[in-house]
Structure formats: C-alpha cells, structure tokens
Amino acid sequence: MRESTRGPGPGENDVLKKQHVVGGIGALTLLLATAFVALRPAPQPNPEPTATARAHHRLATLSTAARKDIDYAALDARLRRLMAERAMVGMAVGIVENGRITFLSGYGETLAGSGEKVTPDTVFRWASVSKGAAATMVAKLAERGDLSFNSPLVEYASSLRLPGGMEARATVGDLLSHRLGLYRNAYDNKLEEGHDTRFLRSTLVQLNSICPPGTCWSYQNVAYDGSSEIVEKVTGKPYAKALAETLFDPIGMTSASVTRDGLVGAKSWARPHDAARRPLEVLDTYYRVPASGGVNSDIKDLALWMVAQMGAMPDVLSPQLLQTIHAPLVRTPGERGRLRKFLERLGEANYGYGWRSYDYAGHRIVGHRGGVAGYRSLILFDPQRRSGVVAMWNSNTSQPGGLEFEVMDMLFHLPFRDWLELDSKPAPGAPAVIGPETDDAAAAAAAVAARARAGSARRG
C-alpha cells in the first residue's frame, strides 16, 4: 500500500493538536533510536562479484588467444560447403580449445526460405545429449549424500516397474547406464502415441527381460526418464527447476530450458525439418521425458556446458563427479558397428552415466549425440586437452555427424579424412556416415531398415 501525500482535511487539525504531546514523546524516542543506529557500522554496498562468478563469465566469452590446433578458416569453409547440401537448413557450431570457447558460428536459416539467419543465439534442441545433464544432476545429489548410485531404483523412481520386480534389484547406476535388461528403446512407440509417461514406466513390468539388470546394455528413453522422478523426489522440486538451480544457472547457461515453451518462446529458435527441408511440427513427445531428451539451448550454452564437463568449473562439477559420470562402465560393441566408417581410428566404445567414451587414435574422448524429429546434436571432447566440438542442426540428416571426427583429427594432428563426405559420396545403399542417438521411434525404425538394406546389398 502506498502512503498518502495529501495534507490535513477539515476537522483534522484538532486531532493533530491532541496528538502533539504524544508525537513529541515519539519524536524523542525516534531521536534516541537514530543515535543508537548511528553507532552501528554503516551498511556496506553490495559486494563485487566473486572470483568464481567472474571466472564463469570469462569462460562464456569467446577467446581467440586459446586457439592452437584447429584451422578455423578451413573448418568454416567445410561448414559452408556442408550447408550447400540439399538436406541442410540451419546449423550452429561451437569449438572449445584449452578450456576456452574459441569459435561460435551459425549457418543457414531457422526456417527454410525465411531468410532468418541462424546465429550463436539461436536455440535448438539437445535431444539425447540431455541424458548427460540428467546423469550430472543425479551425480550432484549423490555427491551431497542425498542418494547413492548403488541404491535400488524402488527407493526413488516411484513409477518405474521392471519385469519380475527387478526394480528392487536394479540400481540408480543401472538406470543411468542403460543396464535395466529391457529391449532397446522400449515403449518409445507408445510414448509417441501419446501415452502418459509414468503409466508407460509402470507397464514395463509386462515385458520380458533380455538379461538381468546390470549385465547387458540396451538404450532407453522412457525408462531412462525415471531419473527425472529421482531428482524430483530427492529435491522436492520440479525437474526443470532443480536442473536450472543446480547446474544451468551456476554454470552461466542463460538460454537453457527443459520445456517446449522454452524452445518456441525464444527470440530466435530453429524450426525442425525433414530431410527434404519440409518444416515439421514441434511436438511435446520427448519433452515428456525431459531427462532423456528435453533440454534446449543456444550453441554458446552448449559449448559452456562442455567447458564445465571438461573440469573448468570445479566449484560446480568436481573432478570426482566428472570422473564418476564419464568412466567407461560397460562396453558397447554395437556402437563400433554403427560408426564402422571411422574404425580406421575408432577403438573401444563404452558407456558411463549418460555419457559415451571412445578410444580415438589412442586418445580417450567423451561425448554423446542426439536426434528427435527435425533436430540433431552432438558433443565430443578430450577431457585431458579440454578441447572439443558441439553442434546442433534442424533437419533429419546425419551427414554433419562426421564433423566431430574432423575436429578431433585437427586437434590430434592426424591426416585429413573427408568424414563429412563432401567429396567422397557414399555408394548407393551404403549406410549413413553416422547415426544419431535415435530418440524417436520413427528414426530408430529407419535406422534399422537402413542397416537391413545395407546388409542385403553386401550379401547380394
């Protein structure tokens, strides 16, 4: 309520006179109180930003001084050629060298034919790169002692039910490393049909296990999102709020969100397209499994996320936490089959907690890829060198996936290979350069069909 500023009205002066004596006593009291307060130390102005806050702000800025191994002119030329490919609409790319963001650039359009340019401020979807955020969030809770990776799921994920009651045996760690014993992408098709996510998790009990929990690896989305329930149960907050308060805000990620509204409400956001450059509708399907595929951001924030994952922000992500989530827990030989084009340099492939790791020409690298209808994404880095690449694009093509290995070749000073296939087009019927993490059932089915066609061609 605002104070009145008018003067005394008719009849009010007598009342004011009667209050004079009382007012005098009150004034004396106020004078003594003022004198007492004057003896206190004067209030200090708001403190300057902490050294940590200043450091995070510095890490969010572009540094050309940290450039060392990447040929940025050559990289830019390759990306411009890539954008001339028929399936490409828009793309954003970020590079980090020596723990600093050294390159941020947008290419193409947010919507085919619109003329609206993609910039480093354009928001895209992370898709399955979001799984690393979920695992990092759970690891923060474990580091605080609020839960344990070895605890049975039944203690935390209230809707998740596994065949044979195995939720009492499967652990939080099994969930985050895709070792629940379910067939690949279980019930993604039902998720896309509009079924309630928690209902689907409760009906996983009706399936047949392919192995006991903790003994085999099989990629999940519906089940993996049980991690969002874990976070909500332990923190007492909505998943998006817990993620923002614990990770995104401290890291300095100003554009990151975990909802459809967070994407379409952005000042600049990339519209999804199919491989023929036709616009697609933005569905909420995989926002309903936010731990599996719900994060959005611009390329700067994805690059900053990678900087934090490299260990440059130990006040937010401790070295022990990063070692825990990036550790190679389970071998994924099928990944080598999916990336067979790169086997000249790609060795063992593993999965940890929400993160993949590889041996690449003798170097250990960490990352993930993602794909939902009309969007693709990637993140790949060398933790020791604190250098890597992030990229997001808004069409259903996997061709840009070769970028991550062209960047790795530059970092490690390896001979050039046309991993983007700009000059060496694959033979008809050959498998794509690289497949995305198939978050959507349609993409998964297409990938299976492509592998089957390629196999038939080889057998023929």
Decide: 309 and 366 in contact? Cβ < 8 Å.
yes
Q: What is the pLDDT of residue 425?
A: 72
Q: Does the pLDDT at position 6 exceed 90?
A: no
Residues whose CB falls within 8 Å of the CB of residue 311, separated by 6 or more in sequence, listed in order: 317, 319, 322, 383, 386
Closest among 154, 160, 155 to 203, alpha carbons compared:
160
pLDDT above 70 covers a percentage of the chain that reads 81
For the chain, what is the largest distance between any 2 Cα atoms, rounded to a whole number of angstroms?
110
* Residue 41 pLDDT class (50, 70, 90 cuts): very low
Phi first, then psi: give them for residue 141, nearest 5 degrees.
-65, -35
Closest CA to 52 of 266, 316, 446: 316
> So what's the pLDDT on residue 54?
73
Q: Evaluate the CA torsion angle 259, 237, 243, 365 in order and state its sign.
A: negative
Whole-structure pTM value: 0.84
pLDDT reported for residue 26: 46
Are 262 and 353 within 8 A, CB to CB?
no
pLDDT for residue 22: 39
Kindly tell me the sign of the dihedral angle through the C-alpha atoms of 241, 266, 188, 398.
negative
**Confidence label for 55 from pLDDT (cuts 50, 70 and 90):** confident
Nearest-10 crossing angle of helices 226-235, 130-143: 40
In this prediction, residue 450 carries a pLDDT of: 40
Instruction: State phi, psi for 219 to the nearest 5 degrees.
Output: -65, 135
pLDDT at 118 over 70: yes
Question: pLDDT of 279-331, one tens digit each?
Answer: 999 999 999 999 999 999 999 999 999 999 999 999 999 999 999 999 999 99
387 within 8 A of 96, measured Cβ to Cβ: yes
Q: What is the pLDDT of residues 336-395, one digit of tens each?
A: 999 999 999 999 999 999 999 999 999 999 999 999 999 999 999 999 999 999 999 999
Task: Tell me the residue type at 326.
Answer: H
- How far is residue 252's CA from residue 375's CA, in Å, rounded to a whole number? 24
Give me the phi and psi of 227, to 5 degrees please: -65, -30
- Cα torsion at 299, 301, 306, 309 (round to 10°)? -160
Whether residue 12 has pLDDT greater than 90:
no
Bridge pairing between strands 356-360 and 363-372: antiparallel
Q: Is the pLDDT of residue 145 over 50?
A: yes
Give residue 397's identity as a one-letter amino acid code: T
b/e per residue, 157-172, with b = 16+ CB within 10 A? bbbbbbbeebbebbbb
pLDDT of residue 50: 60
pLDDT at 164 over 80: yes
Composition of the chain by helix, strand, coil, percent to 5: 40, 15, 45
Q: What is the pLDDT of residues 395-439, one digit of tens each?
A: 999 999 999 999 999 999 999 999 999 998 765 555 444 555 555
Strand, helix or coil for residue 323? helix
Residue 369 CB contacts under 8 Å (≥ 6 apart), including other chains: 128, 129, 376, 377, 378, 379, 401, 434, 436, 437
* Backbone torsions φ then ψ of 282, nearest 5 degrees: -85, 105
Task: Name the H helices within 222-332.
Answer: 226-235, 239-243, 249-251, 260-264, 290-293, 299-307, 319-326
Nearest C-alpha neighbor of 248 from the set 133, 368, 373, 109 = 133
DSSP string spanning 158-219?
Answer: TT---GGGGGGTSBHHHHHTT-SSPPTTTTHHHHHTT--HHHHHHHGGGSPPSS-TTSS---
Supply the mean pLDDT for the chain.
87
